[in-house]
Chain A
Amino acid sequence: DAGVIQSPRHEVTEMGQEVTLRCKPISGHDYLFWYRQTMMRGLELLIYFNNNVPIDDSGMPEDRFSAKMPNASFSTLKIQPSEPRDSAVYFCASSLEVSEQFFGPGTRLTVL
């Protein structure tokens, strides 16, 4: 298996622009998680899905952030409009039921 795939690996954008991050979980996994990693706050859970349904989005910082999972093999995290304080590494992870989470390589987002 190729593991969790994220794209793009790096994204540089200007303040106010829309940013879309993409994730393909491991085939067969029924949970998908989005995390954000910053120096100040460490790793934070933003939202997670079970069988494509959002279960807990309490970690999503603002209404500017939204996430979707239209099918079992694809999820997006969108920021609109983006701000410099959104600069971080965003990780996607997937798991099979209550088991260990497998992380993707991350997307490094820089908002100028």
Chain B
Amino acid sequence: AQSVTQLDSHVSVSEGTPVLLRCNYSSSYSPSLFWYVQHPNKGLQLLLKYTSAATLVKGINGFEAEFKKSETSFHLTKPSAHMSDAAEYFCVVRRAGSYQLTFGKGTKLSVIP
């Protein structure tokens, strides 16, 4: 079985300061990991993905995430938050060879001007 735990349901940062959204996963097999973003009343958009290549993954809009197998973590970071980053972020795991995604509960990011 696989699961995803997003450690914070809500994160608030000031514009221009770093963003850290935490995610831990559990998977019996070598997983693929994803971060999706959902803006209000919109669908989910892929930010970045890890599929057993480089452990530091760069995504769109300046986001990146580091896969740490020893810590079973896949935290999402951005050096400087922008107002347009305010949204809900989902950490997602997919077991190797499977098409099914398991979603975390989501972290709502607020950006304060």
Interface residues of A (CB under 8 A from B): 4, 31, 33, 42-43, 45, 48, 50, 55-56, 91, 93, 95, 98, 100-106, 108
Contact = CB atoms under 8 A, between A and B. Distances in A.
Contacts of B104: 42
B43 A106 contact: yes
Given A42-B105, A42-B106, A43-B90, A103 B44 contact: yes
B100 A48 contact: yes
A109 B49 CA distance: 30
Contacts of B103: 42-43
Contacts, number: 39
Interface of B: 34, 36, 41-46, 49, 90, 97, 99-101, 103-106
A31 B99 contact: yes
B99 A48 contact: yes
> Is chain A's interface secondary structure helix, strand, loop, or mixed overall?
strand
Contacts of B49: 100
A100 B12 CA distance: 28
14 contacts: A4-B43, A33-B99, A33-B101, A42-B103, A42-B105, A42-B106, A43-B90, A45-B100, A48-B99, A56-B100, A91-B43, A102-B46, A105-B42, A105-B43
A38 B103 CA distance: 12
Contacts of A108: 41
A62 B29 CA distance: 30
